[in-house]
Structure 1
Amino acid sequence: MELSESHTLPVPQQRAWEALNDTAILKACIPGCESIDADGENAYAVALTAAVGPVKARFKGRMQLADIDAPRSYTIQFEGQGGAAGFGKGDARVTLEPAGDDATTLSYTASAQVGGKLAQIGSRLVDGAARKIAAEFFKRFTEQLGGGAQNDEAAAQENPETQAASDAEGADGDEPQKRKRSWTAWISKS
């Protein structure tokens, strides 16, 4: 599986770098994350629960930072075991570039392999789940950095499911609107 994306963060490059290396912020932003603990120099033990299609499991793994060029880039090497659900391993190259005085462009290219039941459910479901987790991570990460209000519209455009949910609440929250989005529209945007 290959995944590449870019996101604009509402903070200067140094602040974005610090946040990417703050385990408390990362724990709050990674969907299903139960813990991130230091496990040596530039290494972390991670535990999280994730669902990929019909497979839901608790994964325990390790994340190692390599090729560190602060505050511009690093490579994350990761591996995790989910018991009977299978395993995942891979790496992600993360780069930060200034986008003006108060913004930073975060780009990443990730490559991952899965095995066990995860591999049996099909690459399309695995890719979709990975994109959904990444979208939720960046939504939470932007909110942690203080950019939630100004980026809500952009996030809603990137994640139509979130937009559909907010559309269903209605303007004053008491009467749902009749507007619905089809799942095929959501998949085609992925």
Structure 2
Amino acid sequence: MKIADSFTIPAPKSAVWDVFMNVEKLAGCVPGCRDMTALSDTEYEADMEVKTKFMTIAFKANGRLKGFAEGEELTVEMTGKPTKLAGLFRTKLKVRLQERAEAETEVEYDMDLQMSGRLASLGDVMMKGTVTESSREFARNVQRLFAEAPGGTAE
């Protein structure tokens, strides 16, 4: 399943980049993230919950920063396993930042999500809607983080 979209944040590109590279700040913006721990500068693990129309799925996820161009773009690969369902997911996420105005940054992203096992049997249509809504909630959370911060720095 492939998803691509963009959203705008009322902050300079450097401030947005700093949030995306800070596990604690980023975790607060990710819907359903109960805990995220940096294992190194390029790896993290998270306990997460995803709410679908019919159930809530708890899972453990491991992410790895696979590449980046400082302040411009990053690529993350994540794998996860539901705690009570057979299955697995893998996702590759590419994020690009474009400064649109002095204090306005557009975040463009492309996500390729693959599921297997019982998780995949939930169906692409239902999961695509859930993932799309989670992506929109993430965007709103990042926007709110900057809107509430003095000077647009998300400190």
TM-score (norm 1): 0.74
Alignment of 1:3-82 (within 5 A): 3-82=3-82
Tell me the SS of whatever aligns to 1:24.
Answer: helix
Work out the number of aligned pairs and report it.
148
Q: Is 2:146 the partner of 1:145? A: yes
Which residue is 1:88 aligned to? 89
Structure 2 alignment gaps of length 5 or more: 150-155
Kept after mapping to 2: 8 A contact 1:80/1:88? yes
Please give the alpha-carbon distance, in whole angstroms, between the structure 1 residues aligned to 2:147 and 2:22.
15
1:132 matches 2:155? no
Change (3 A) 1:109 1:147: farther
CA distance change for structure 1 residues 132 and 31 in 2, over 3 Å: closer, same or farther? same
- Report the structure, 1 or 2, having the larger helix content: 1
1:147 Cα shift?
6.4
1:29 alignment partner, SS class: coil
Alpha-carbon distance, 1:99 to partner = 0.4
TM value normalised by structure 2: 0.89
Query: CA RMSD, aligned part only?
Result: 1.5
- 2-side partners of 1:139 and 1:110: how far apart? 18
Partner SS for 1:53: coil
Mapped partners of 1:131, 1:57: distance in 2: 16
Which residues of structure 1 form unaligned runs of 5+? 149-190
Counterpart residue type for residue 13 of structure 2: Q
Runs ≥4 residues deviating over 3 A? none
**Aligned residue in 2 for 1:169:** none
What pairs with 1:89-128 in structure 2 (closer than 5 Å)?
89-128=90-129
CA distance in 1, matches of 2:147, 2:58: 30
Asked if the contact 1:59–1:83 (Cα under 8 Å) also holds between the matched residues in 2, the reply is yes
How far is the alpha carbon of 1:40 from its aligned partner? 2.4
Using the aligned pairs only, state the percent identity.
21
Amino acid at match of 2:136: A
Aligned-partner Cα distance in 1 for 2:93–2:102: 26
Larger-Rg structure = 1
Q: Which residue number in structure 2 is paired with residue 161 of structure 1?
A: none
- The question of whether the paired residues in 1 share the 8 Å contact of 2:60 and 2:83 is answered with no
The question of whether the paired residues in 2 share the 8 Å contact of 1:67 and 1:75 is answered with yes
Task: Give the number of the structure whose residues are more often strand, by fraction.
Answer: 2
